[in-house]
Structure 1
């Protein structure tokens, strides 16, 4: 009887904790999250901005160039860059929990295994990217646009190899709460990218392909900066102890987490769980969700009130600008939902729930989002708006399902055992 009362009190206490988000109860945790997340946001925006700036330069060369660069950028993101982020999702779980458990040497081993995995994946993807034109034509794309996209994709291949290794190093540093160097390397590379792109496209006469080449040059500059910091800094004496053949032995176990993460596409949560601090992990989730919603709403307001300015960055065509304005409401909804699911997916990786989240994502987009998108686009003739509306429906289901999982999870039952020189999820 006494035990049931204690359980009831604990349940009510948990409910009040979720209800008291806006009352300053988590101010200290919020400050920690801001100090950690703002540099990571700047890093992500900077790395996203490098290929985006290249598309901007290509877009101002003409409508066909804009269409080709945009299609190539989308294809590169879906088939390559996002995959690199997903494959490194295992590092958020493994390195995050190893760091929390003070098993520092294992972090260097996990880094090497992830680099091997990413380089192997990049080698296979490079072949796919080389044959972009026949693939896009097979997918019923316009031949002229497919040809332009292929011309943009091939010189972009070196950027993929650099980006994969950058993502490995980002996870390695962020799980140790080392974020300032990431900001310096990413933002400085973005700032250098603008004159590099201009020089290759215009004075050096490379034109359209020069924009893609510039993206690769800037990514490799950033990678060399990060590698130099990791080698010469004394902050990694415990976590990086040189190359080891042990990395080859854990490639398959790492892949078991990496592949579901790639299908999915929170280091702080993993740190706390690895250290056994369940309450702190839960608090981190609550505060991060709140901050992500605020940030997403800020971006939505900037998009709604400045859509013409954003459109002019990519093209001077009145038709392109008009179509962009029409898509703004759907884009705003997808930003808000995507920010929420992004945090919840990060929590899933931190807790080692990759497989559960992967199945959720597959169901959200292939069983719900895609059928709705195809119906609205081709049956009801809403075309592009229909496709995007289907995406929004998929995001809504994904975010809602992940939120339910997080809310209903008994966090004390998460069994993350880290024993001596090995990190095992059970």
Structure 2
């Protein structure tokens, strides 16, 4: 972490006018820095920027592993592209997103445990959460095995469904690695060990390009080689992280080896893990429903492509916000664990300001470069023109999403996952989807109507989370090693 650079004002003598002049300039500079510090706590901001940037890069590299596989599969033909794209979307909403959410329990328990200096418990929580991830990976694998009949039941094209099902089956080994990997990432994140993650995620990503190319083009696997390459690369990523935790000296207090004690904490973690998974999935599913609804509109090819570009843009913007969301979760949980709720609130305020600044930068880039950005997705002048008309609405949703992303991170740090599940359910599905259907279909606003509905849902979610954050007492969990292992209480 970087500390604020201190500025020392030199005592000057009246007999040296040059030094007096320099001192005046220095005093003026000090006043400028003090003014800026009232707007944004630079010491805290530097900590969070140095924390969030590696997290953003790391998540991007891991995200690219599955995306690159889709690209290699897509070059084999239109059917393979459609099948791989559908399979990747299906795997994300039914498996990968769930695993990301499931590991959210560690953001609360490991974060507060580290702040409370209960270092040994972090390793115990990691093992317990990994056991839970393994159990759910088995369940997801069975579900994925029946992908084809489920997609056909959802009115998807039979040929594309068959191709997507084949792709998904070869991703099954990857879901196990991905689940374990997310737990280790939270374990490291809550200890503010993030810089090594850039290297540990970049290497598997680079290897993955070679593995995917080789399996798709140089073996008889062909199309099946793309998802298999993703599974292999995810396991390489997991092994790299596991070896780092096992052999790095900095974890000698937080990782003391495998212990049967971890089984005693499975239900404790499950009480936070399931709501945390529901938090993530409810939001992911809302965006996927928009794509599905766009496919039911007139000129469905154009509307689906347009909404897909908007969803992809929002997702990439949120990946940047997620780094700050992780920073908020870690700072809040660490400070609460240490018994410093006021410092936790100050950290949250800094994260919100940083998130808004980044969101505004993304909005400006979108405002000036929306045609170039849309051109990456489509050569159709009609879609590029329609996307330009969507830019103002997309800007609003990006700004709103940047605020709620930080507030969701605060909620994970405080252990409020159960409350946020109900918030997301009501705001996205009762409010957002209802307005989206009404505006999109009844008032014939089409894609704009769908996105306005999403904005309404996001706005209600953000406002509700803000009220909860401001009105709820910030307390830490009872994480004493001698405490009630089945039910950590707020104290």
What is the TM-score of this pair, normalised by structure 2?
0.76
Name 2:159's counterpart in structure 1: 144
Pair 1:241 & 2:305 matched: no
Pair 1:211 & 2:226 matched: yes
Name 1:285's counterpart in structure 2: 348
Task: Please tell me whether the aligned partners of residues 148 and 165 of structure 2 are also in contact (alpha carbons under 8 angstroms).
Answer: yes
C-alpha distance in 2, partners of 1:126/1:84? Answer: 13
How far the C-alpha of 1:302 sits from its partner, in A, is 4.1
Name 1:340's counterpart in structure 2: 403
C-alpha distance in 2, partners of 1:346/1:72? Answer: 29
Deviation track 1:288-324 (CA, whole Å, cap 9, x = no partner) reads 1111222233334444544565556667777877776
C-alpha distance in 2, partners of 1:61/1:303? Answer: 32
Classify 1:320/1:248 alpha carbon distance in 2 versus 1 (closer, same or farther; 3 Å): farther
Name 2:141's counterpart in structure 1: 126
Deviation track 1:316-364 (CA, whole Å, cap 9, x = no partner) reads 7778777766665555444333332221111001111111111111111
Name 1:3's counterpart in structure 2: none
C-alpha distance in 2, partners of 1:310/1:91? Answer: 36
C-alpha distance in 2, partners of 1:31/1:343? Answer: 17
Task: Please tell me whether the aligned partners of residues 59 and 314 of structure 1 are also in contact (alpha carbons under 8 angstroms).
Answer: no
How far the C-alpha of 1:125 sits from its partner, in A, is 0.5
C-alpha distance in 2, partners of 1:106/1:322? Answer: 55
Name 1:109's counterpart in structure 2: 124
Number of aligned positions between the proteins = 405
Name 1:397's counterpart in structure 2: 460
How far the C-alpha of 1:383 sits from its partner, in A, is 4.8
Match of 1:57 among 46, 51, 72: 72
**Gap regions ≥5 residues in structure 1:** 1-19
Task: Please tell me whether the aligned partners of residues 115 and 335 of structure 2 are also in contact (alpha carbons under 8 angstroms).
Answer: yes
Name 2:309's counterpart in structure 1: none
C-alpha distance in 2, partners of 1:95/1:101? Answer: 10
State the Cα RMSD in Å: 2.6
Classify 1:21/1:168 alpha carbon distance in 2 versus 1 (closer, same or farther; 3 Å): farther
Task: Please tell me whether the aligned partners of residues 60 and 315 of structure 1 are also in contact (alpha carbons under 8 angstroms).
Answer: no
Classify 1:140/1:323 alpha carbon distance in 2 versus 1 (closer, same or farther; 3 Å): farther
State the secondary structure of the residue aligned to 1:250. helix
Task: Please tell me whether the aligned partners of residues 80 and 163 of structure 2 are also in contact (alpha carbons under 8 angstroms).
Answer: yes
State the secondary structure of the residue aligned to 1:419. coil
Classify 1:134/1:327 alpha carbon distance in 2 versus 1 (closer, same or farther; 3 Å): farther
* Pairs within 5 Å for 1:248-267: 248-265=263-280, 266-267=329-330
C-alpha distance in 1, partners of 2:377/2:390? Answer: 15
How far the C-alpha of 1:177 sits from its partner, in A, is 1.0
Q: Which moved more, 1:176-185 or 1:114-123?
A: 176-185
**Gap regions ≥5 residues in structure 2:** 1-34, 281-328
State the secondary structure of the residue aligned to 1:240. coil
Pair 1:158 & 2:173 matched: yes
Pair 1:81 & 2:96 matched: yes
C-alpha distance in 2, partners of 1:301/1:221? Answer: 38
Name 1:417's counterpart in structure 2: 478
How far the C-alpha of 1:378 sits from its partner, in A, is 4.1
Classify 1:337/1:63 alpha carbon distance in 2 versus 1 (closer, same or farther; 3 Å): farther
State the secondary structure of the residue aligned to 2:171. helix
Name 1:178's counterpart in structure 2: 193
How far the C-alpha of 1:28 sits from its partner, in A, is 0.7
What is the TM-score of this pair, normalised by structure 1?
0.86
How far the C-alpha of 1:60 sits from its partner, in A, is 4.0
Deviation track 1:142-191 (CA, whole Å, cap 9, x = no partner) reads 32332232222111112211111110000111111111221111122222
Pair 1:371 & 2:434 matched: yes
C-alpha distance in 2, partners of 1:36/1:139? Answer: 42
Task: Please tell me whether the aligned partners of residues 56 and 313 of structure 1 are also in contact (alpha carbons under 8 angstroms).
Answer: no
Classify 1:231/1:270 alpha carbon distance in 2 versus 1 (closer, same or farther; 3 Å): same
* Pairs within 5 Å for 1:188-227: 188-204=203-219, 206-227=221-242
Name 1:362's counterpart in structure 2: 425
Classify 1:158/1:308 alpha carbon distance in 2 versus 1 (closer, same or farther; 3 Å): farther
Task: Please tell me whether the aligned partners of residues 40 and 353 of structure 2 are also in contact (alpha carbons under 8 angstroms).
Answer: no
Deviation track 1:40-63 (CA, whole Å, cap 9, x = no partner) reads 111112212222222333344444
Pair 1:352 & 2:412 matched: no
Name 2:6's counterpart in structure 1: none
Classify 1:106/1:67 alpha carbon distance in 2 versus 1 (closer, same or farther; 3 Å): same
Classify 1:48/1:299 alpha carbon distance in 2 versus 1 (closer, same or farther; 3 Å): farther
